[in-house]
Structure 1
Amino acid sequence: MWEELDQRLHNGPRFQYKVSWRQAQGREPHWSHTHVPGPPYLVNGTGAFSSYQMKVQAVNSLGEGPHPVPSIGHSGEDYPLASPSNISVSVANSSSSVRWQPVDTHTVQGHLLGYKIYLKRLGSQGGAMEHREESEMEGGVERGMEREEEGLVVVVQGSKTEETVTGLKLYSLYELSITTFNSKGEGPHSPTHRFSTPEGVPGPPASLGFESPSETELTLHWRPPIQPNGRLVGYVLQYQQISDSGDSPLQLEVIYDPTVTHFLLEGLDPHSRYVFYLRGRTTAGQGPPITRECATLLDGVPPSNISIVVGETSVNLSWVPGDRYRNHSFHIKYLSKTVGGKWEESEQVNTMQAFYSLTGLQPGTQYRLLITHGNYTHWEEEIQTTGPEPHGVEGDFATQGWFIGMISAVVLLMLLLLVLCFIKRSKGGKYAVKDKEENQMDSEARPMKDETFGEYRSLESDGDEKRSVSQPSLCVESKLGSDDSLAEYGDSVDIQFNEDGSFIGQYSGRGPAPTGNESSGPASPVNQDPPPPPIGPSFSGILDRPS
């Protein structure tokens, strides 16, 4: 490729370019020429990544232009032809130092970019040897190498001939090969070189679990380390009781059989938690531990903190199982609070279920739920299902306790009111007007007794006796048989009216009390003798008296 000349500099007809080339190493001292109208121009048969001298000269019908200065170029790259040789490996624990002999420059067929180290882990040393023996029995080592476990590629940039490879697994067998690469790609692999890493301490066990046969026992279960890094010779178990003071002694158990994967601890405190450290052992020593905390499981009991969701014909019960309690089986007893209701029992329920649906209940019915444990009631609750209440149940409206109480109170109150009305009516007595009318009828029917004055009884005393019936607390003094009383009785008469207009004390025999305005002449109390009192009352005189 070259930059074309400006047409103003062609300076003649039949303008073209003269392209010349030859190998730079001098194996072809003579130039090869060709004329072309313009770039580009392809030279064939040069070989891979060969060095050439090149020049381009302008010519026309009058001759050649100035002679150019030759340039050096190469043909295209190709895959390298050779691989490194004399490979050696020095191993230190999980790293190795790899050295090799570089290839010749002409075999690279391009610019050398570096080397690639291929590592293949065939497995642990014991496993790899057994695996290799099986492979040889099947037809050779090469066939067995196809079952490689892991692959690792380390890229080395530039022309270095030594590299340190890290991250290798201990007690493992590796296979190594090296290639050369350029911009075209990689060359062939070198012959394989095998080496092994030394034995080391194992990694932590893969897992650690617990079972609690009783409140004072724990069974530990574990899996061997994923990276044994050698031949396991056993395990070391350490455990310590967790306390606030932190001064609990560290207990030690050594397991010498590498095939054992469980261990039983006895005599533990059921009220304490423990921390456990389990390590694998090889001839190189103990590895890092797997650490877990655990406590023994207590005897299971039925749940007590139960949440309830009531439906029409069922009730859902849910609870949270205790962390330290073993699974416990129990039954839920339920009683319908209807007439003739009997205790029924659910199917067997486990505490680890954390949920149970009690079905087959009656809508709108009260139930009593019960869970017993041992000889006592562990949990109890009363519920009422939703929906209409069935006929004839104890919870019917007419047989509810509050309704019966209300009806009883109303009946008692009505009886009390009737008693009070009866007492009031019996204490009211007769009206005064009716008594007066009865007295008048009796006085007309009785004969007048005018033989003696001492047998006369005034109506005033009769009225007093009548009043004493309605007012028993008042006492009335009798005036019969007293001369002074008769004199006073003749002096003045106090006439009063009752409610019906009749006279009070009209049979007393007293005259009207004289007043200053009503007298026809001056009254002389000294000269005028009082008229004798009448021997007996006259009904006509009484009726003829002025009111």
Structure 2
Amino acid sequence: WGVAVVNIPLNNYYTEYEVKVQAINNVGKGPESEIAVIHSAEDMPQVAPQKPIALAYNSTCFNVTWQPIDMSRENIRGKLIGHRLKYWKTTHQEEDSVYYLSRTTRNWALIVGLQPDTYYFVKVMAYNAAGEGPESERFEERTYRKAPQKPPSSVHVYGINPSTVRVVWRYVSPSQDEEPVEGYKVRIWESDQNMITANNTIVPIGQKLESYINNLTPGKSYNMRVLAYSNGGDGRMSSPTLHFQMGKTTRNGADTRHGHNINTALILSTLLLISTFLYTSH
């Protein structure tokens, strides 16, 4: 491959050029190649993101936003790749900073892996293929205290009818280094599925510590866990996982009585069918 270097004015950063190549020897010039469109090298961005704001997302995460950057050629001096976020504890030196690269042009990013109940400084920079631009002003914010560290206890499930269950549990009392409990989540998913498919039923704090889960499939087996949540995030889930199976709808449409365990209701339905079969056989 042949290589040629052509000097261009400094102000012609990231400029589009049309290029042709032509061979020359002692006899003369050869035919020209087809036109190729290229860009000159990029220069580093000359603008800093304005008005950065970091808001605590939970006990270990910030949601950082800033005003969208003016995408003019003079400011970006190339193609914006993303933003570089710089953060460090306020009790440490800026030289101890950690960096996070957000490879997107959107004007927000999440910083994760922070320490609970800790103050941080945050700065933002734009970057392209040439490097990063100037830093924004710094912003100070504190992460929330820890999420609930204790799981709900005495979790029980009771059958109401073939598609509804009632779930009860005991209150979670947070410690001094935890955020106040905002409510509870009852997490239910089909037993042959992964927990990522679970549906959460929210029970805000102040309500009775119970939840009625409707629209379940008769005859299906389910898993269930309960957790408390707060501004610090989701707490620890109840353990072990509760496994239960919904009762099947009988011909006469009879439902299980309030407060009966689902598996017990299913057994009683089965015994009823067996008794009916024996009676008709005689």
With normalisation by structure 1, the TM-score equals: 0.24
- Which structure ranks higher in relative contact order (CA pairs < 8 Å, sequence separation ≥ 6)? 2
Structure (1 or 2) with the greater helix fraction? 1
More strand by share: 2
